Copies of this chain bind each other. A is one copy, B any other.
């Protein structure tokens, strides 16, 4: 089972976390999504934590986990915190490859999204 894990920052504002949870549900249901399961995790302030989400993936039978950090720039969260947590989990679950992709702010299409938003 190949799991896509989308990691967001998490917010003190409940609606914001629910917005991210719904967003990840929409990703799960998208026609181009070929992952067996698509899940959400939060770095802080919301559940599930990254640790809990990875534990659940493995418990549910994940053979491989692909991570997309849902962050716009490489602050300390992207550059240090998320990689450290995932590295510890990779050590714990050595047989389940955890493959972290570029954070979303690196997407070449992001410029177009800003211009689209500005012109909308």
Q: A68 contacts the other chain (Cβ, under 8 Å)?
A: yes
Contact of B74 with A112 in the complex, beta carbons under 8 Å: no
From A23, A70, A72, A102, residue with most partner B Cβ within 10 Å: A72
Q: How large is the interface on A (under 10, 10 to 19, 20 to 34, 35 or more residues)?
A: 35 or more
Given contacts A26-B111, A30-B111, A111-B27, contact A75 B118 (CB under 8 A): no
Q: Which of A2-36 contact B (CB under 8 A)?
A: 4, 6, 8-9, 11-13, 15-17, 19-20, 23, 26-27, 30, 32-35
- Given the complex, which residues of B lie within 8 Å of A101, measured CB to CB? 117-118, 120
- Given the complex, which residues of B lie within 8 Å of A116, measured CB to CB? 107, 109
